[in-house]
Chains A and B, each alone.
Chain A
Amino acid sequence: MANVTTTELPKKYHDAVVRWRELFLPDFDYLLQNWDRYFPRDPRFKLCAFRELGMPCTVEVGQDQGKPKAERACEMRSEAAQHLIGAIRAQASTEFGSIQQHQLTLARAQDEEEQAMVLRMMAEELRHGYQMLHLIVADDWKPVTGQSSEEMVEEILSMQTGSHVLGAFNIDFESFVDNIVFCCLIDRVGKYQLAMQKVSAYAPMADSMPQMLREEAFHLATGVVPLRRWVVKAAAGSPMITMEVIQKHFNKWVPRGLEMFGDERGGGTNVKLGLKPMKNREAQDQYYLEIQKVVRDLNTRYLRARLSGLDAAAAEATLQELERDHGRVGGVSFDELLRIPDRHYFRRRGEPSFAMVGRDGERFLDVEAYLVHLTQTLPDGYRATRDFQDYVAALRQVASGEKTAEEAGRSMPQLRRVGGVCPCSRAVRWVADESVELPAGAV
């Protein structure tokens, strides 16, 4: 019902996305066959690019505020076009990357409805990736990147977990808890990025955002609603899910979510160039406040399940007392509740990268003691992953003075495509690429 136009990519690109979907989203056909069962009366999914009509046609922020927005990359300042294509590639990479992550553990869902919600969300992420490919294909970026559209599309479609532009999309999921917490925390970062890009000085980018934001609203519900139900199960003593497990997954993903905003000190260039309305720290601050609200909501839901007879006001008062005194009320202790990890906890990018700060803000001086703390506060399965192993190695290098925190952050190995031309070639290898760095403010 929104005021939009729809477009399909030229056939060879559309077909490439369909092939990618067949490889990485094998349950897509099941979703469509069962759409009316899970989502009765909802419009059926369509793989296409949307463009919102009636959006502002003049630049909304920055040095060119008030001037007409660019319809083509060649109408933009060179610096702005560079930043923009970096953001488009990062956005495309994350959309496709999240599908690969979700697919790893989709089958482990315990609840059919939750599984269907995640599956629909994956299909919509595919459409978001398609939307970004449309921006690449519909314009001539070669003067900006030196690459043809075809080469850029191939590069994006050949990425796999480990090679995506943003770190959060390179971390394997270990259980369905990851699927849900990721929707709640990492898709929330996505909402901020999309909302900021809605003011982009490049009109096709700005006009792409409203429909993506509409779909993102459901993705956030796909995270929050199961969590609200899981804390009730946890309160009832379910062996299937506990508050500790949820907490450890928050510990795993919140630091990655914070880093997705880019370095806290950056983002000014994007504002100056009219691509976003907020610097990184400002957006990160708002995000952190928002996840505080999520955690309070979950804790309130938990308290009402644990202490039957509480009404909303009494639950609120009980939560305030627990937060203030860190004690026990009615048999519930503060330690049972969820809490947001400190902003400096387990960071490897940005201002506090490799600072040894504990989950509750405590400072560590000894690297081994800090690693013990991390192993106690992160999910068991994650501790055995390549991602954590790389972090540990980098932290030791920083602690010994072998590398600066910035060097360590850049040198963590990533999977990168090193050969092959077919989008499905999977021609990726583990490589340590010291020079790899996102364009400033690309995220």
Chain B
Amino acid sequence: METTAIQVRALSELDIGDIVRIAERTRHAYRPELWEDRVTYYLRRDPEGSVVAESGGRVVGFMLGDVRAGEFGIEEPCGWIEVIGVDPDCGGRGIGRALGEAMLKRFRERGVERVRTMVDRSMPDVERFFESLGFSADTLRSFVKRVHD
């Protein structure tokens, strides 16, 4: 598998099973309903805005996102990368980079000037990954409050 080329293409409904499989490996939870809802959401909004990576005819990674405006005080249309998953068996092959570059290209083609994402500080690998794609820290910060004790 290591020598097989990586191909990136648009997300389709046929990828749900593979996304569930990869997410189960990386997040240690089998949650098909969650991913059915998420994939449907992205497909109905912008099916070309999310991508999967294939190697040897098998889905080995995915990146989901879309273009939105008017959120968090950001009025301009902005590309958002919201979810990324790479099959742990295929790590270190540049799959994440291939997915990221494809997403950035698609966002550029849609005329957006900025692409945003949010990264948990407890995940420095992910932070480094986005920095390697040219992302830098922004002034927008995440706030959270628990409403149930």
Contact = CB atoms under 8 A, between A and B. Distances in A.
B86 to A, nearest CB: 15
B110 A2 contact: yes
A217 B36 contact: no
Contact of A225 (B16, B30, B68, B109): B16
Nearest to B109: A3
A217 B13 contact: yes
A229 B33 contact: yes
A428 B53 CA distance: 50
Given A1-B111, A217-B47, A290 B14 contact: yes
A1 to B, nearest CB: 4
Interface residues of B, number: 29
Contact of B44 (A3, A39, A213): A39
A1 B46 contact: yes
A1 B67 contact: yes
Interface stretch (A158-166, A280-288, A292-300, A370-378): A292-300
A221 B24 contact: no
A228 interface: yes
A2 B10 CA distance: 14
Given A1-B46, A1-B67, A312-B24, A297 B17 contact: yes
Contacts of A300: 17
Nearest to B24: A312
Nearest to B46: A1
B39 interface: yes
Contacts of B21: 312
Contact of B16 (A39, A217, A228, A304): A228
Contacts of A221: 13, 39-40, 43-44
Interface residues of A, number: 29
Contacts of A43: 45
B118 to A, nearest CB: 17
A394 interface: no
Interface in B95-149: 109-112
Interface string B17-30: 10011001100001
A1 B77 contact: yes
B30 A214 contact: no
B53 to A, nearest CB: 17
A297 B110 contact: no
Interface string A183-215: 000000000000000000000000000000110
B107 to A, nearest CB: 9
* Residue among B25, B36, B39 with max Cβ neighbours from chain A (10 Å): B36
A61 interface: no
Contacts of A153: none
Contacts of B40: 117, 218, 221, 225
B24 A228 contact: no
B46 A220 contact: no
Contacts of A311: 24, 30
Contacts of A229: 33, 36
A220 B30 contact: no
Nearest to B25: A312
Nearest to A220: B13
B19 to A, nearest CB: 11
A301 B47 contact: no
Given A1-B110, A214-B47, 4 more contacts: A120-B44, A221-B13, A228-B36, A312-B24
20 contacts: A1-B67, A1-B77, A3-B110, A3-B111, A39-B44, A214-B47, A214-B48, A217-B43, A218-B40, A220-B43, A225-B40, A297-B17, A300-B17, A301-B32, A304-B30, A311-B30, A312-B20, A312-B21, A312-B24, A312-B25
The 4 closest A-B pairs by CB, nearest first: A217-B47, A218-B44, A221-B13, A312-B21
